[in-house]
């Protein structure tokens, strides 16, 4: 009988705990480096998806189609993380299962999160700076620069509850994607999982803290170039909200909290209860 090329949910749960133990024991330098790589990969997916869809996103009548196209391309970032290697903060929310199983400590998980989050931020900022300096924002008569600024301004204009709720929804799907990618034993299976589920998340417009580490700094830096700022056609209130302080306080803080709630409290804890809890 041929060996199956996937893991059942209960087997995935055990694999998640084993993976959490490895992640918790990894050296700080390795976590920072792999976090940097994951930040770069997600930023590449964010940049490429905006490039592909920006013309459609600029027009209300084609906005939905633009979101669908953006979502199709964005998943390439997570494919790079899952297959080529990387430590992604949002996916590492599944480490909560290792804590509940008492295979790793809270301190070990939080150490991993802190180092990986920093690495993700540095990798995302690095790609954002490079993209802005390529001059690519001038494409489509500066519309790419304009859309990059519009995306950033919309994210820094969210209310706390909006950003939190969107972060919860995002990481329910991202952690489900990582969970299912663990269950696929071949590359094709991992690619298909990442493609369809990340397409769903990105097309829905939910908030992902690591993706926002690219989107908002790229928009902030692009806004310093007048032709790109003019192409954004934003009201004064939106432009006023586009600041580094709002990037941190109005977006990263609530979105990160929402990502933790969605990934740990829902996907991670519920699957632990269903497949690992002993009666």
Residue 207: the pLDDT is 98
* DSSP letter, residue 59: S
Specify whether the CB–CB gap between 250 and 209 falls below 8 A.
Answer: no
| pLDDT class of 2 with cuts at 50, 70, 90 | low
Q: Which of 25, 130, 123 is nearest to 81 (CA)?
A: 123
Q: Does the pLDDT of residue 250 top 70, yes or no?
A: yes
Q: How far apart (Å, rounded) are the C-alpha atoms in residues 46 and 48?
A: 6
CATH number, span 9-275 = 1.20.1080.10
Using pLDDT thresholds of 50, 70 and 90, give the confidence band for residue 5: confident
Question: 17: which residues sit within 8 A by CB, 6+ positions away?
Answer: 97, 98, 101, 103, 276
Say yes or no to pLDDT of 51 above 70.
yes
pTM of the model: 0.96
> In a 3-state reduction of DSSP, which class is residue 256?
helix
Cβ distance 116 to 88 under 8 Å? Answer: yes
In the predicted model, is pLDDT for residue 278 greater than 90?
A: no
Condensed to tens digits (0 to 9), the pLDDT of residues 110-148 reads: 999 999 999 999 999 999 999 999 999 999 999 999 999
Predicted confidence at residue 111, as pLDDT, reads: 98
For the stretch 148-202, pLDDT in tens is 999 999 999 999 999 999 999 999 999 999 999 999 999 999 999 999 999 999 9
């Amino acid at each position: 009988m041929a060996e199956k090329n996937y893991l059942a949910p209960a087997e995935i749960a055990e694999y998640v705990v084993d993976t959490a133990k490895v992640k918790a024991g990894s050296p700080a330098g390795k976590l920072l480096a792999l976090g940097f790589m994951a930040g770069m990969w997600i930023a590449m997916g964010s940049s490429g998806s905006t490039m592909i869809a920006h013309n459609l996103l600029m027009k209300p009548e084609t906005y939905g189609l633009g979101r669908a196209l953006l979502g199709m391309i964005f998943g390439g970032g997570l494919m790079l993380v899952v297959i080529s290697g990387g430590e992604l903060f949002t996916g590492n929310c599944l480490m909560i299962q290792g804590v509940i199983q008492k295979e790793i400590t809270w301190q070990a998980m939080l150490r991993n999160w802190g180092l990986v989050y920093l690495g993700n931020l540095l990798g995302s900022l690095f790609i954002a700076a490079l993209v802005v300096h390529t001059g690519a924002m001038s494409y489509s008569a500066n519309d790419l620069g304009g859309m990059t600024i519009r995306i950033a301004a919309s994210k820094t204009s969210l209310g706390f509850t909006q950003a939190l709720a969107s972060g919860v929804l995002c990481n329910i799907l991202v952690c489900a994607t990582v969970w299912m990618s663990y269950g696929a034993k071949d590359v094709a299976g991992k690619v298909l999982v990442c493609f369809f589920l990340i397409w769903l998340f990105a097309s829905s417009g939910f908030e992902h803290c690591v993706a926002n580490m690219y989107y908002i700094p790229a928009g902030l830096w692009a806004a310093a170039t007048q032709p790109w700022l003019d192409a954004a056609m934003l009201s004064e209130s939106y432009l006023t909200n586009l600041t580094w302080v709002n990037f941190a306080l109005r977006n990263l803080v609530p979105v990160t909290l929402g990502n933790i709630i969605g990934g740990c409290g829902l996907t991670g804890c519920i699957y632990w209860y269903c497949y690992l809890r002993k009666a």
